[in-house]
Structure 1
Amino acid sequence: MNIDLSEEAFAYGREAQRALGAAGGDELVKRAEADPASRAGLVEPLLGDLGAWDLDPRGDADDLEAAAALSRAFGYWAAPYPIAERLARPAGSDGLVVVADRHPEGAVAGLDLRWTTVTLDGARGVATAVPSDARARDTAFVTALDVRSEGEADVRDVALGLVLPCWTLLGMLDRAMELTREHVLVRRQFGKPLADKQGVQFQLTDAEVERAGVAMLARYALWSVQDGRAEAVHDALALRLAVIEAAETVLRTCHLLHGAVGFCDEAALSWISRYSQPLRRLPYGVSGTGARLARSIGRDGLTGLFSEVTA
Structure 2
Amino acid sequence: MNLELSSEAVEFGLQAARALRAAGGDDLVQRAETDPTTRHTTIAAVLERLGAWDLSPRRDPIELEAAAALCRSAGYWAIPYPVAERLSRPADLDADALVVVAGPEPAAAIDGLDLRVVAVDPEGRRGTVTARRAGKRTGLDAEVHGETFTRPDTRMDGEFAVRLGGGFGGEFAVRLGGGVGGESVGRAGGGTVEGTVAPTDGRTARETVFVTPIAVRPLDTRGADDLALALVLPCWTLLGMLDRAMELAGDHVLVREQFGRRLADFQSVQFQLTDAEVERKGVEMLARYALWSIQTGQPDAVADALAARLAVLEAAEIVFRVAHQVHGAVGFCDETTLSWLSRHSLPLRRLPLGITGTEDLLTRRIGARGLAGPFSDPRGA
Q: TM-score, normalised by structure 2?
A: 0.78
Aligned to 2:37, what secondary structure does the other structure show? helix
Quick one: distance in 2 between partners of 1:149 and 1:64? 28
Give the SS at the match of 2:254.
Answer: helix
Residue in 1 that maps onto 2:182: none
1:56-115, Cα deviation, whole Å (9 max, x unpaired): 011111110000000000000001101000000013110000001311110011101110
RMSD: 1.4
Alignment correspondent of 1:106? 108
Give CA-to-partner distance per residue, 1:172-196, whole Å, 9 cap, x none.
0000000000000000112221101
Instruction: Check the 8 A contact 1:12/1:66 in 2, yes or no.
Output: yes
Picking from 318, 334, 342, the partner of 1:265 is: 334
- Mapped partners of 1:264, 1:34: distance in 2: 17
Aligned to 1:35: 35
Q: Give the aligned partner of residue 148 of structure 1.
A: 217
The code of the aligned residue for 2:127 comes to: G
- Superposition deviation, residue 39 in structure 1: 2.0
Q: 1:27 and 1:209 mapped to 2: Cα distance?
A: 29
CA distance in 1, matches of 2:303, 2:339: 32
2:287 to 205, 218, 231: 218
C-alpha separation between the residues in 1 aligned to 2:267 and 2:238?
A: 28
More helix by share: 1
**1:56 and 2:56 matched:** yes
Is 1:66 aligned to residue 66 of structure 2? yes
Contact 1:33 1:136 in 2 (8 A): no
Q: Is the 8 A contact 2:256 2:262 kept in 1?
A: yes
Identical counterparts, % of pairs: 62
- Inter-partner Cα distance in structure 1 for 2:214 and 2:122: 16
Q: Which has the higher strand share?
A: 2
Rounded to whole Å, the distance in 2 between the matches of 1:200 and 1:300 is 40
Q: What amino acid is aligned across from residue 24 of structure 1 in structure 2? A: G
2-side partners of 1:89 and 1:206: how far apart? 36
Which of 251-260 and 45-54 deviates more?
Answer: 45-54
Q: Secondary structure at the match of 1:153?
A: coil
Are the equivalent residues in 2 in contact too, given 1:13–1:70 (CA < 8 A)? yes
Residue 227 of structure 2 is matched in structure 1 by: 158
1:12-54 CA distances to partner (integer Å, 9 max, x unpaired)?
Answer: 1111111111111111011111112332222111111111111
What do residues 173-231 of structure 1 show as CA deviations (whole Å, max 9, x unaligned)?
A: 00000000000000011222110111111100000000000001000000101111110
- Whole-angstrom CA distance in 1 between matches of 2:293 and 2:318: 26
Aligned length: 307
Q: Name the CA distance, whole Å, in 2 between partners of 1:153 and 1:93.
A: 15
Quote the Cα distance in structure 1 between the aligned partners of 2:342 and 2:375: 27
**Matching of residues 111-260 of structure 1 within 5 Å:** 111-130=113-132, 132-133=141-142, 134-135=163-164, 137=166, 140-260=209-329
Give the aligned residue type for 1:197: F
CA distance in 2, matches of 1:29, 1:125: 30
Asked if the contact 1:100–1:283 (Cα under 8 Å) also holds between the matched residues in 2, the reply is yes
Name which of structure 1's ranges 127-136 and 214-223 shifts more when overlaid on structure 2. Answer: 127-136
Hey, what's the Cα distance between the residues in 1 that align with 2:208 and 2:372?
A: 37
CA distance in 2, matches of 1:196, 1:265: 27
Query: Computing the radius of gyration over CA atoms, which structure comes out larger, 1 or 2?
Result: 2
CA distance in 2, matches of 1:171, 1:72: 4
2:357 corresponds in structure 1 to 288
Q: Is the partner of 1:145 in helix, strand or coil?
A: strand
Q: What do the CA deviations read for 1:267-297 (whole angstroms, capped 9, x no partner)?
A: 1000110000011011110100000000000
Return the letter of the residue paired with 2:119: T
Q: What is the DSSP-based 3-state SS (H/G/I as helix, E as strand, rest coil) of the residue aligned with 1:31? A: helix
Separation of aligned partners in 1, 2:375 and 2:129: 33
> Aligned partners of 2:356 and 2:100: how far apart in 1?
17
Work out whether residues 120 and 223 of structure 2, in 8 Å CA contact, stay in contact via their aligned partners in 1: no
Q: Point out the more displaced range, 130-139 or 211-220.
A: 130-139
* 1:84 corresponding residue in structure 2: 84
CA distance in 2, matches of 1:107, 1:18: 25
1:135 positional shift: 4.7
Shift of 1:145: 1.1
> Runs of 5+ in structure 1 lacking a partner?
none
- What secondary structure does 1:217 align onto? helix
